[in-house]
Structure 1
Amino acid sequence: MGDDHTSVGNGIPFKSGPQQDTTGIRIWHEVFYVPQKEGEKMAVLLMDTQGLFDNATPEDVNISLLTLSTLASSLQIFNTIRMLDTRDLSYLKTCVEFAKETARSDDPLFKLQALNFLVRDHDGDEPFKYGEEGGEKYMQTIFDSKDGDDKQITIRKQIKESFNNVSCSLLPHPGLGVPKKAFQGTNAELEPEFRQQIKSFVEFIAFPFRLQRKESNKKALTARDILNMIIASDGIFACRVYEPENMIEVNIKSYYATAYEESIIEYDEAMKKIFPGDNVMNDEELKKYHQDAKKNALKVFELTKQMGDGKFRKHYHAHLGKICEDHFDTATRKNNALKNAAQLVKKRKTRKAICEYEKEMQLFLANDCVEPIELMKHHTRTFEKVRNGYGDAINADELQSEVNDLHLKIRFENKQRIDMKKSQSEDVRKSHLYWLVRDLDFKCGKKWRKRLSTYQAVADMAKHHKEIKKKIEIKYRKNALTDIELKYSNKLEHRLEVEYKRALAASRKTTYSESLKEQISRRPIKNEEEKDNKITPQQMRDNMESEHRDKLEEYYEGCFIALKEYFDKLKEMIKERKEKANKQNNKTKENMISELNRKLEEEVIVEEERLQRMMNDRYFDMDELESHYEKIKRSFLDVLSSSATQFFLRSHIIKEFESVIKEKFDESLEKMKKKMLRTLIVEL
């Protein structure tokens, strides 16, 4: 009870006056665990039902709420004012008829257990004193009375027969200040007699060893049993059907619904033990475990006691097998996702191992050639080091194949270097050009590797190729030519630059002189615009650079024939590097898409499992399901559109990612719609 300042407002809300405060049935948010014999604990829930049988509440609502709260409770407290009117007992008609109908079964599904008539504002006159003893005498006079018609007498008799225990308690008036608006609900505002009697009443009904469990078939009902009963009853009350036969059928359905759900849990628990979801399993082994778990789940369902005519038993038994298959499908997809993840990791590590081998061998042959026997020894040592370093984390066959190809290429290159080294005495400059081209090729590859740290768009790849090619060709010109050759090469470049600037200046004038037109006409015609003298500055720059390359190649050939030959080789190498870079860039894109697909598959599986659990507990309609998926899809797309994501990913790959995300969640949505339709068919 607390002290004088403790308020009843600390519990279930209330307010003074004729207007009701509770609507429907309100369940206290806290579960009370009461110790029992042999160390067990009983979970106790408190329910408050709105005021019934007034002028404002329809009769069907009165019957629904009273019947539902009585069926769901092991102890129902029937609250009445001043006296227990025999007409009040008629309100329990539906409950009594239900109990009478279920009593025909040896083990009724839901029994009416305890009923307490709480008469408040009683005068407490002799011989009916306040409390349980006076209440028992008062109730006995009501039930033994012959007043009223045959129907009322029959209901009084059936109430005592329908409930296992019927009791009555008398309470005094709480105090004259309670009905007033100024009442705050504190203990100090209550009459001492009322406080004493309400304390005794609570101790009487809530004494730990007097509390009764809600039971069925001589076993305590679980929260799932009660929930299914409430859902089933709600379906009947919504149709305003209160016949006992219909309620019994619904309760049989809820009985099998509970058995069905427990069988599904049995299947899920069995599968979780052998497949927790973090290790890959063999498909045949997983299927065998599924068949055993499904067989056991069906057996658990079949062991439930037969209720009714078997219609619902057969229905839920058939659907249980389908649900087990659905759950197995989810487990299979999760297993495949784990397989794909493992394969992607192994693929990345295999590629990394190959790159390590290639880098080590390139460093070994960076600026010189070696004897073939030394090259073979270093190859063997490097390969063993890489293979042993990664162990089973890589694809050994793929590593072996790639390393063999690289080794053949390196041996061929080493042989060329050896041959070139032998001919150095004959042509030192050719040797210099050879090593220069090899060095520039190595630098070209290095530049490409730097740019390919992330995926590049096709337009960006073309731009990178143009920039790298230009820089490599400039370095070749500066390092391949002698000082005199470089001097005249610079003069050639300067002359072409001057011509370009003069032509550019002329193109900006509305009237061209004949000489300037002649200079412009010397540029190669690229398109129809140039025919009308409408060539753009960028086009003129491109034409100038193209002409400069052509003149430079002619200059190379005129200075030294090998300059042109090695320049052609360098261009071929640059071209090969470009093709190789394009392949690697496409591979990076494929890996990114594969990784996204894998992660999306994991997210979709988790979301589907969460939705399945939610749909097991409450009803989902199509609009809510579509809205739910739209929110999930939107959250992923918002991440892609964030500034942080756009900092690391370019717009072209983001658009492809958006397409993949939409496709994955749309597929999942269609699947969940089909599942929900099957569930609705089962419930119907």
Structure 2
Amino acid sequence: MSDYLAQKLSSLLKLVAPNSDPGCALQLLKPIENGYEMDKVTLMNLVKHPAVKNNPVVIISICGAKREGKSFLLSLLIKYLESNMQEAWLNEPDTPIPTHFSWKSGRKAHTQGIWLWSKPYLIQKSNGHKVAVILFDTEGAYSSTGKQNDSDIFAFSTLLSSVQIYNMKDEINEQKLESLAAFTSYTERAGTKTESGQIFQSLMLLVRDWTDDEFQCGVEGGRKYMEEELQNKKVTDEDLIAIRDKISKVFRQVECTLLPYPGAIVDNKDKRHRQNTTQVKVSDMSGDFKEHLRIFFHILLDECTEPKEVGGRIIKGDEILNLSTKLFNLLRTKEIFNVSLTLKVNTQIKY
């Protein structure tokens, strides 16, 4: 392990006031005919939680194509948080891999709409700042619901979150960059630009099942790979150059992590060993995958968790309901094309 990673993993990141609430996945946006409906009660109960109500909030959302392990990843992130982010977070090899957010192998999309984890996590980062972490799992893009719903899901989750994980398999390629840029263009119509032209906060490009030896797995290799892909001097097409330029400019922070293959049993390529996800054990994940996943989670929570801001001001937990309701109404009425999203914040949080 490099000195950089050793220093990061020795930071004082910790869970504040852990509690026995087991938590559960609840559907926030539910697909209906011609769109979605939002469960305001579910969100209201979450934002009024003592860990959230009067604290800066970090919403971590994950998006990307269907059937590429988004729910699987968030379930493991919950396990990491529940372990108080300890090195031995996967020290029970015979226990099943968690399914906090339901996941399964196969071709058909599993998650529909947007789901949230009912239990927030108040963490203290290595700089001493405390933030309430909320997790969103989103419907996979390119499913049977259509491009409009894909765009709405991305817009809602990106504008509401402070960290958007863009999950993809194997590599960053032109098709994936074009899709990300298209979703971003739709979403930025409702955003408010800063002086630098940025609208969104953090974007984490997460490349799964990485096998290319040119760049090592992890955040350091990911940064080098991302720089090469986003600043690819071999690209001469003006549209492709514009796509790369947009992604780099509209997000305040863009990071990239490369994760290795988790193993054939987890990926359901070795079907001799199981019939469903409840039979997948911690020991079925490769050791390399588990270690890189721990490093990724640690850096994600410690370095990418800036509190949610609107108009340059940090907003507290109970204002999230106001923000999400206004955003949802804009999307539902298609006023997102004509209105910039603003939120009056009466009290600025000292952070």
Taking structure 1 as the reference length, what is the TM-score of the superposition?
A: 0.34
Offset of residue 151 of structure 1 = 2.3
Larger Rg belongs to: 1
1:224 counterpart = 2:321:
no
Kept in 2, the 8 Å contact 1:129–1:170? The answer is: yes
Aligned-residue RMSD, C-alpha: 2.9
> What letter matches 2:122 in structure 1?
Y
1:212 counterpart = 2:306:
yes
Matched position secondary structure for 1:33: strand
Offset of residue 205 of structure 1 = 0.7
The 5-angstrom pairing of residues 350-365 of structure 1 reads none
Offset of residue 43 of structure 1 = 0.5
1:13 counterpart = 2:108:
no
Offset of residue 90 of structure 1 = 2.7
1:216–1:81 CA distance, 2 compared to 1 (3 A): same
CA distance in 1 between counterparts of 2:333 and 2:284 reads 45
1:161–1:22 CA distance, 2 compared to 1 (3 A): same
1:214–1:4 CA distance, 2 compared to 1 (3 A): same
Offset of residue 75 of structure 1 = 0.9
1:129–1:37 CA distance, 2 compared to 1 (3 A): closer
1:51 counterpart = 2:118:
no
1:42 maps to: 131
1:136 maps to: 223
Offset of residue 104 of structure 1 = 5.3
1:199 counterpart = 2:294:
yes
1:29–1:5 CA distance, 2 compared to 1 (3 A): farther
1:622 maps to: none
Kept in 1, the 8 Å contact 2:265–2:280? The answer is: no
2:210 maps to: 122
1:139–1:62 CA distance, 2 compared to 1 (3 A): same
> What letter matches 2:202 in structure 1?
A
Encode CA deviations 1:536-593: one digit per residue, 9 max, x unaligned: xxxxxxxxxxxxxxxxxxxxxxxxxxxxxxxxxxxxxxxxxxxxxxxxxxxxxxxxxx
1:169–1:228 CA distance, 2 compared to 1 (3 A): same
2:116 maps to: 27
Encode CA deviations 1:276-309: one digit per residue, 9 max, x unaligned: xxxxxxxxxxxxxxxxxxxxxxxxxxx9xxxxxx
Offset of residue 68 of structure 1 = 1.2
Matched position secondary structure for 1:165: strand
1:588 maps to: none
Kept in 2, the 8 Å contact 1:124–1:172? The answer is: no
1:159 maps to: 247
Offset of residue 237 of structure 1 = 2.1
1:177 counterpart = 2:177:
no
Offset of residue 87 of structure 1 = 2.1
1:212–1:100 CA distance, 2 compared to 1 (3 A): same
**Percent sequence identity over matched residues?**
26
1:80 maps to: 168
Q: How many residues align?
A: 250
Offset of residue 33 of structure 1 = 0.3
Kept in 1, the 8 Å contact 2:154–2:187? The answer is: no
Kept in 1, the 8 Å contact 2:202–2:253? The answer is: yes
1:235–1:148 CA distance, 2 compared to 1 (3 A): farther
Kept in 2, the 8 Å contact 1:124–1:170? The answer is: no
1:186 counterpart = 2:281:
yes
Kept in 2, the 8 Å contact 1:119–1:171? The answer is: yes
Matched position secondary structure for 1:45: strand
Matched position secondary structure for 1:42: strand
Q: Which runs of 5+ in 1 are unaligned?
A: 263-302, 304-684
1:238 counterpart = 2:319:
no
2:200 maps to: 112
Kept in 1, the 8 Å contact 2:192–2:311? The answer is: no
CA distance in 2 between counterparts of 1:240 and 1:148 reads 35
1:101–1:70 CA distance, 2 compared to 1 (3 A): closer
CA distance in 2 between counterparts of 1:38 and 1:87 reads 38
CA distance in 1 between counterparts of 2:280 and 2:306 reads 30
CA distance in 2 between counterparts of 1:111 and 1:226 reads 17
Encode CA deviations 1:33-72: one digit per residue, 9 max, x unaligned: 0114786521110111121124x23001100111111111
Offset of residue 9 of structure 1 = 2.4
CA distance in 2 between counterparts of 1:107 and 1:97 reads 19
1:96–1:155 CA distance, 2 compared to 1 (3 A): same
1:422 maps to: none
> What letter matches 1:32 in structure 2?
Y
CA distance in 2 between counterparts of 1:188 and 1:104 reads 46
Kept in 1, the 8 Å contact 2:204–2:254? The answer is: yes
Kept in 1, the 8 Å contact 2:159–2:187? The answer is: no
Taking structure 2 as the reference length, what is the TM-score of the superposition?
A: 0.63
Greater relative contact order (Cα < 8 A, sep 6+): 2
1:37–1:219 CA distance, 2 compared to 1 (3 A): farther
Offset of residue 196 of structure 1 = 1.4
CA distance in 1 between counterparts of 2:236 and 2:142 reads 20
CA distance in 2 between counterparts of 1:242 and 1:12 reads 29
Encode CA deviations 1:221-246: one digit per residue, 9 max, x unaligned: 12333222222222232234552x43
Report which of the two has the higher share of strand.
2
Offset of residue 216 of structure 1 = 2.7
CA distance in 1 between counterparts of 2:199 and 2:318 reads 17
Report which of the two has the higher share of helix.
1
Encode CA deviations 1:161-214: one digit per residue, 9 max, x unaligned: 11111011111111111233444232111111111111111112112x652111
Offset of residue 32 of structure 1 = 0.3
CA distance in 2 between counterparts of 1:57 and 1:171 reads 29
Kept in 1, the 8 Å contact 2:159–2:191? The answer is: no
CA distance in 2 between counterparts of 1:124 and 1:198 reads 18
> What letter matches 1:21 in structure 2?
H
Offset of residue 152 of structure 1 = 2.6
Kept in 2, the 8 Å contact 1:100–1:162? The answer is: no
Offset of residue 10 of structure 1 = 4.8
Matched position secondary structure for 1:47: strand
Kept in 2, the 8 Å contact 1:32–1:43? The answer is: yes
1:104–1:174 CA distance, 2 compared to 1 (3 A): closer
> What letter matches 1:137 in structure 2?
K
